[in-house]
Structure 1
Amino acid sequence: MEQELQKRYGLLTAIAMVIGIVIGSGVFFKAEKILVATGGNLPLGILAWIIGGIIMVVCAYVFAIMATRYEKVNGIVDYAEVALGSKYGYFVGWFMAVIYYPTLTSVLAWVSARYTCVLLGWNIVGGEAMALSGFFLVASYALNALSPKLAGKFQVSTTIIKIIPLVLMAVFGTIVGLKNGILISNFTSGPIANASSSNPLFTAVVATAFAYEGWIIATSINAELKDAKKNLPRALTFGTLFVVLIYILYYTGLAGAVKNSIMMKGGETGAKIAFSTVFSNAGGIVLFVFVVISCLGTLNGLMLGCTRGFYSLAARNAGPKPEMFKSIDQNTNMPTNSSIFALLLSGLWLLYFFGANLTPVSWFGPFSFDSSELPIVTIYAMYIPIFIMMMAKEKSLSFFKRFVMPFLAVCACVFMVVAACYAHSKEIIYYLIIFAVIMVLGMILNSNKKYANS
């Protein structure tokens, strides 16, 4: 079997991966939560979108600088390794492979099923939704594992498709809202209900983290990206800026479609109500189909990164059984064993998400947390030492690139961590216990002790 991945993806696929993973579910999934968190205060909600977007763009820009200098297997692991050594690189890689990738992938499988159920009029927490979640998870795995080139084309296609409902709502929702006065009313009415937490802005910003997350997964294909040192920075920079712009415009258009009170009460059907209001019932259904496709495109991008999680460790002869996980299928040029294990982990995290968040009584008691948010905040915490060491080591960079942007990135990450503490309070303690157990397990199972202790 071959032991190296081929250079098969171009700049368009990389940009589509950044935009396609980020845009897809969070902007629909979290729009209602942000309104509820702010008590229907639309300007405060938009401020949360702006702050979350700035955090993403600043961090992506700093990693884009590193991407011009380093290229191996899985960008974020490369950067952690260069900045703090192979032990920290393994620490980050293990977290990405066991927690970050599979938790987000499993949540996206359910979100895709959720909006499919809304479209079909089914229960979003019933057996139908969970059956669809499992089907979407396996289908996404099959697409990536059996035909990675087709998965890349699917990513580009769904990225184009998913932009359609966002642009249409941004344009026509704003126009309709200005004509009927709803947009102005939503902007000027202030809070219309009690905020869901004592720190509404922090809670709202943490909610945007899920909507904005995913761009870092684009670095997982740097070993398969043509001219990665040029194309990956371009994809990160252009992709994240585009996402922030389209999100804010969409959120504004949404506020012109329906009153904040309706969106807040709409629950999972909030987006469908808005689309049906602006484009009629038939048009709303058609555009909502695009929303479902959008979610599936995001799931595909996450699975693309997820299948390479254990391979990125094995390629460094680290982690459990590296010889098994770094083997590559001659026909598909995919790390098959890594892909299969990623599917298993995603299935386990999907089961956890259901038992912790969707059942009337949690299966896990106090050890229940929102796996769509806390793993994302954790990765921001892991960025902090990388940015600090970048300032210390990268002496050939200009003052702006070496100090100004990494310092801003550190501030952005610290803000995100503090906001998460306010938003999730005691839930974080139990999450950190689970996190610590998994990370210790990773250190025990690492077959390359020299790598882990260097």
Structure 2
Amino acid sequence: MSENKTELKRSLGLIDATSLVAGSMIGSGIFIVTSAMARDIGSAAWLLVIWIVTGLITVAAALSYGELAGMMPKAGGQFVYIQRAYGRLVSFLYGWTVFTVIQTGVIAAIAVTFANYAAIFFPVLDTLLFKVGPNFTFSYQKVVAILSIILLTYINTKGVESGKTVQLIFTSAKLIALFALIILGLYVGLQTTILTDNFANMWDASKTVVNPDGTIKVTKLAGMALLGAAGATIINSLFSSDAWNNVTFIAGEIKEPKKNIPRSLFLGTLIVTVIYVLANFAYLALLPIHGTPNATDISSSGIMFASNDRVGAAAASMIMGNIGVFAMAALIMVSTFGCNSGLILSGGRLFFAMAKDGLFFKQATQLNKNQVPAKALWVQCIWACILCVSGKFGDLLTYATFASLLFYVLTILGVFILRKKEPNADRPYKAFGYPIVPAIYIIVTTAICLTLLIYYPLNTGLGLFIVCLGIPVYYLAMNKKE
């Protein structure tokens, strides 16, 4: 078979697409970020409200994306939508940010998380191979992280069927395990008074900070201070709920994409939203929201100060004792491996679409004998592995989250722009609740971005810098072509 095909084969159905949405969303975040959110907000009720709001705006975004997906059922998804609404420069800036940080950075971070939890079963992985300076270390963990990226990339180059099978198996496994955690957690937790105690003063919000001497400082929150703190900490739950749009990158391989992509976006985001809210309810049934740092037992640490923020592991320990630590480690390994499979599968298609438009390496347009953009996948693999080695991917993710939100706002604003520019375009699916639902998403997410600018000016500024750095790169690339 020729290595130079440039048209993808449609072989994924609704279940496959929904599995990709849910599988890409559920990584390690749900098992970790609730601790940081508890310290930021200190209220059981507000904690759940933030997770519910996250779910609502994610579902609202997915419903709005459905219209664009129906109009443009092509590989590349969000890149294609942005280009049609705003032109080549803005679409390049999106693709540039996704390649340099958003997609590859998430892949690297999730691979390292996979390796970290593998070290619970194989402590030798913690062995330090060498260290350069005060910040750069290289251990067997990073070797495992890199190997997992290479393995998943290889699997995905063998054909979309191979990637689909891995995605279905691992997504099913982690959904079953999460439901088990929720059901067992509520069963055990509701036999205690912990949930009642957590909701005794459920609206009393506070921010808890650990001082250098180990003592804690608690600041009561109300009014604008409360809204500001909620707007800042929601970045944690939004990060845990991100990557739902990855299914649009593989639109060129989905059967009946005008129907199945909007449906999968809605179903996948809804399923994950329900799971996330119930998981946090289970945490609140098993662990006190408040705790003390350096406590001698899991319950006294509470949700706030779970060891290494591993609230999921702490909850599992309350259900099953010490074996719960290993059970949760296994679940997170399954979750992260499956999540990365979906991210790697979909990310290569975005760079394939960019290359076809002349905005990425030309060879990335080529499909291998399995009708997969293998060269795009391997370029993505190489950069993600470099980010693993660099040790700076965590910082990059923080910088890029703000930029990612900005592109979501721009994309959904594109629904309004294209309704005006192309009123007669074929729209098999129209955005639910238009114009109210898309407008609410734009307003709420813009407010979150403004809050982040106030609370985290350095990180948000660096996020904007990464985006803007793509401008000279774009013009250099265009001049080189001429």
TM-score by length of 1: 0.87
Q: Deviations over 1:36-78 (max 9, x none)?
A: 222x322221111112111211111001122222222212122
**Aligned match of 2:316:** 275
In the other structure, the counterpart of 1:175 is 187
Structure 2 residue corresponding to 1:220, chosen from 249, 253, 268: 249
User: What residue is the counterpart of 2:157 in the other structure?
Assistant: 145
For 1:183, what is the secondary structure of its paired residue? Answer: helix
The separation in 2 between residues aligned to 1:439 and 1:297, in whole angstroms, is: 34
CA contact (8 A) 1:314 1:321 kept: yes
- For the Cα contact (< 8 Å) 2:78–2:411, is it kept in 1? no
Of 231, 237, 243, the match for 1:202: 231
Q: How many residues align?
A: 436
Q: Deviations over 1:6-59 (max 9, x none)?
A: 112111110000011111221113122212222x32222111111211121111
Q: Which residue of 2 aligns with 1:328?
A: 367
Deviates more, 1:208-217 or 1:432-441: 432-441
The equivalences for 1:46-445 within 5 A come to 46-118=48-120, 120=122, 123=126, 127-189=139-201, 190-191=204-205, 194=208, 199-260=228-289, 261=291, 262=301, 263-265=303-305, 266-316=307-357, 318-322=358-362, 324-330=363-369, 332-352=370-390, 354-355=391-392, 357=394, 370=398, 373-383=401-411, 385-393=413-421, 395=423, 401-445=433-477
Structure 1 residue 181: deviation in Å?
0.7
Q: Which residue of 2 aligns with 1:9?
A: 12
1:95 to 1:192, Cα distance in 2 relative to 1, 3 A: closer
Contact 1:37 1:204 (C-alpha < 8 Å) held by counterparts: yes
Hey, which bits of structure 1, 4+ residues long, moved more than 6 A? 397-400, 447-450
Distance 1:427 1:90, change over 3 A: closer
* Higher strand content, 1 or 2: 2
TM-superposed CA distance for 1:155, in Å, is 0.5
Q: Secondary structure of the residue that 1:325 maps to in structure 2? A: helix
What are the superposed Cα offsets for residues 317-359 of structure 1, whole Å, 9 maximum, x if unpaired? x12442x2201112x211122112111221233344x2475xx
Residues 399 and 286 of structure 1, relative CA distance in 2, 3 Å threshold? closer
Q: Is the 8 A contact 2:55 2:273 kept in 1?
A: yes
CA contact (8 A) 1:29 1:268 kept: yes
Partners of 2:344 and 2:311 in 1: CA distance: 27
Name which of structure 1's ranges 207-216 and 427-436 shifts more when overlaid on structure 2: 427-436
Alpha-carbon distance between aligned partners in 1 of 2:151 and 2:479, rounded to the nearest angstrom: 32
Secondary structure of 1:104's aligned partner:
helix
* Superposition RMSD in Å: 2.8
Structure 2 vs 1, CA of residues 37 and 55 (structure 1 numbering), >3 Å: closer, same or farther? same
How far apart, in 1, do the equivalents of 2:341 and 2:191 lie?
Answer: 39
**CA deviation profile, 1:402-444 (whole Å, cap 9, x unmatched):** 4223212321331331233244222222332233223431342
Q: Retained in 2: the 8 A contact 1:177–1:184? A: no
Q: In the aligned structure 1, how far is the partner of 2:316 from the partner of 2:451?
A: 31
Cα separation, partners in 2 of 1:447 and 1:253, compared to 1, 3 Å: farther
Partner of 1:37: 40
Q: C-alpha separation between the residues in 1 aligned to 2:126 and 2:229?
A: 29
How far off its partner does 1:104 sit? Answer: 1.5
Q: Residue deviations 1:338-394, cap 9 Å, x none?
A: 112111221233344x2475xxxxxxxxx8772573443343343354244145345
Q: Which moved more, 1:87-96 or 1:41-50?
A: 87-96
| Gap runs ≥5 in structure 1 | 358-366
CA contact (8 A) 1:387 1:409 kept: no
Q: Report the counterpart of residue 361 of structure 1 in structure 2.
A: none
Change (3 A) 1:175 1:92: same
Q: Deviations over 1:185-242 (max 9, x none)?
A: 1233545762689632122211111100011111011001111111111100111111
More displaced 10-residue stretch of structure 1: 161-170 or 213-222:
161-170
User: Could you list the per-position Cα deviations for residues 253-276 of structure 1 after superposition, in whole angstroms to 9, with x for gaps in the alignment?
Assistant: 011122222232222443222102
The separation in 1 between residues aligned to 2:410 and 2:119, in whole angstroms, is 36
Segments of 5+ residues of structure 2 without an aligned counterpart are 128-136, 211-218, 220-224, 292-300
Distance 1:42 1:403, change over 3 A: same
Distance, in Å, in 2 between the alignment partners of 1:297 and 1:30 is: 19
Whole-angstrom distance in 2 between the partners of 1:340 and 1:181: 52
Q: Could you say which residue in structure 2 is the equivalent of 1:360?
A: none
Distance 1:400 1:61, change over 3 A: closer
User: What SS does the aligned partner of 1:194 have?
Assistant: strand
Quick one: distance in 2 between partners of 1:204 and 1:311?
35
- Preserved CA contact (<8 Å) 2:67 2:431: no
Matched-pair identity in %: 20
Q: Which of structures 1 and 2 has the bigger CA Rg?
A: 2
Name the aligned partner's letter for residue 440 of structure 1: P
| CA distance in 1: counterparts of 2:261 and 2:393, whole angstroms | 36
Distance 1:253 1:447, change over 3 A: farther
Q: Distance in 1 between matches of 2:112 and 2:400?
A: 11
**Distance (Å, rounded) in 2 between the aligned partners of 1:394 and 1:218:** 24
Q: Letter of the aligned partner of 1:281 in structure 2?
A: N
| Rounded Cα–Cα distance in structure 2 between residues aligned with 1:4 and 1:447 | 28
